Amino acid sequence: MKYIDEYRDPAVARALIGEIRRVVRNRWTLMEICGGQTHAIVRYGIDTLLPEMLTLVHGPGCPVCVTSIRMIDKACTLARREEVIFTTFGDMIRVPGSMQDLAAVKAGGGDVRIVYSPLDAVRLAEQNPGSHVVFFAVGFETTAPANGRAVQYAAAKGLKNFSILCAHVLVPPALRLILSAPGNCIQGLLAAGHVCTVMGYEEYIPIAERFHVPIVVTGFEPVDILLGILECVRMLEGKRFAVHNSYTRSVRREGNPAARRVLDEVFEPCDRVWRGIGHIPASGLRLRKRYERFDAEQRFDLADVRSQESPLCRAGEILQGKRKPLECPAFGGACTPDRPLGAPMVSAEGACAAYYRYRRAG
């Protein structure tokens, strides 16, 4: 299959690993900032095949994982309302809140439905005029354009019984937080190809220059990731701090202009709390004033929802590359996919889920 098999070719992968070994001369720590890349690295053992001088750590690249616990609690509060049909993608169903997840709310009688597109939620609103349909809009810049188009479509239809619970987050502010933190050890970054497919990579250029880190836009297959690592090491060894696009089959410097226009029309930046990390200024998206009638938080007044993180969960440290899942005391004991303390254990892109599946002892 084109663009799959050739990017999983063992011979090509071995050649790239050999070239990385030839090029590297110093110790470097690289961070991938996409949960899909994390799963590929752990699944294929890429980190175990690299020279000892290279260390890979995992970043905040799982949008499910960084959605704040208070936002999960708000989702559960909405889903328990009798007049609400709460819609979400399946990856949010088992993300734990303070007391419940959406699966438990559904089991208790809440009308929680999994959809495959935000437009499915809009159609549900059209078909159920006596109910109010809420869509859980979660994700990085990748998913925001589709959710923005759903809001535009609802506005064009004049729907009054549709809204979104907006939890969108942005990658660059999180990177600036991590790179400016005291004791930061990240020296190179592998950027997420799908985010850059939408946004391009121009906004990463000042980050590379300010923090003196090379940033390589990378795909999600083993060869993609090894190509990204090789280019990152080449720049580090050459003391070059720039942005390189290794995912040219999908990413352009300017991104996707049509998708960016939707983002600019429907959303505006806002401060956001990231689960386990905390408040990051201008790191989220909210609906612009002209679309605020579709904001579920305002429509249902969720300001009084209070939340509390598990004191045992170390997700915030894992999401910032300060700790790996196996270094968490709760991993595989107090925290498992059946009884998760944090989102990284149940998300399809969570680092803890990857380690539990591929690296768990026994």
Identify the CATH number of the domain in which residue 203 sits: 3.40.50.11750
Phi, psi of 307 (to 5 degrees): -140, 160
Report the C-alpha gap between 290 and 26 in whole angstroms. Answer: 53
What is the number of other CB atoms lying within 10 angstroms of the CB of residue 242? 13
The confidence score (pLDDT) of residue 220 equals 94
Structure tokens at 187: 């020296």
Residue with tokens 């968490």: 328
Residue 361, pLDDT score? 64
Q: How close are the terminal C-alpha atoms of the chain, in Å?
A: 34
- Would residue 21 count as lying in a domain? yes
- SS3 category, 344: helix
Does residue 121 belong to any structural domain of this protein? no
Q: Which residues of 321-332 are buried (b: 16+ CB within 10 A; e: fewer)?
A: bbbbbeebebbb
CA proximity to 196, closest of 150, 266, 251: 251
User: Would residue 150 count as lying in a domain?
Assistant: no
Angle between helices 222-237 and 10-23 (to 10 degrees): 10
Structure tokens at 260: 């960016």
Residue 85 pairs in a beta bridge with: 133
Quick: pLDDT tens for 220-249: 999 999 999 999 999 999 999 999 999 999
Sign of the CA dihedral with 156 first, then 160, 162, and 163 last: positive
Residue 230 resides in a domain: yes
Give the CA-trace dihedral at 4, 355, 139, 200, to 10 degrees. -50
Residue whose structure tokens are 């929802």: 305
Query: Residues, the chain, total?
Result: 362
In a domain, 233, yes or no: yes
DSSP sequence for 193-262 = HHHHHHH-SGGGHHHHHHHT--EEEE-SSHHHHHHHHHHHHHHHHTT---EEE--TTT--TT--HHHHHH
What total of structural domains would you count in the chain? 1
Edge-first strand order for the sheet with 243-245 is 54-58, 28-32, 188-192, 215-218, 243-245
Written as tens digits, the pLDDT of the chain (362 aa) is 577 888 999 999 999 999 999 999 999 999 999 999 999 999 999 999 999 999 999 999 899 999 999 999 999 999 999 999 999 999 999 999 998 999 999 999 999 999 999 999 999 999 999 999 999 999 999 999 999 999 999 999 999 999 999 999 999 999 999 999 998 999 999 999 999 999 999 999 999 999 999 999 999 999 999 999 999 999 999 999 999 999 999 999 999 999 999 999 999 999 999 998 999 999 999 999 999 999 999 999 887 888 888 889 999 999 999 999 999 999 999 999 999 999 999 998 999 999 999 988 64
Domain membership flag for residue 10: yes
Pairing of strands 278-287, 267-274: antiparallel
What the block records as the tokens of 74 is 């708000």
Rounded CA separation 110/326 (Å): 36
Domain range enclosing 32? 5-59+171-187+199-245
Q: Is residue 212 part of a domain?
A: yes
Spatial neighbors of 125 by CB under 8 A, at least 6 apart, are 131, 132, 133, 154, 159, 161, 162
Q: Does residue 340 fall inside a structural domain?
A: no
**Model confidence pLDDT, tens digit, residues 45-81:** 999 999 999 999 999 989 999 999 999 999 999 999 9
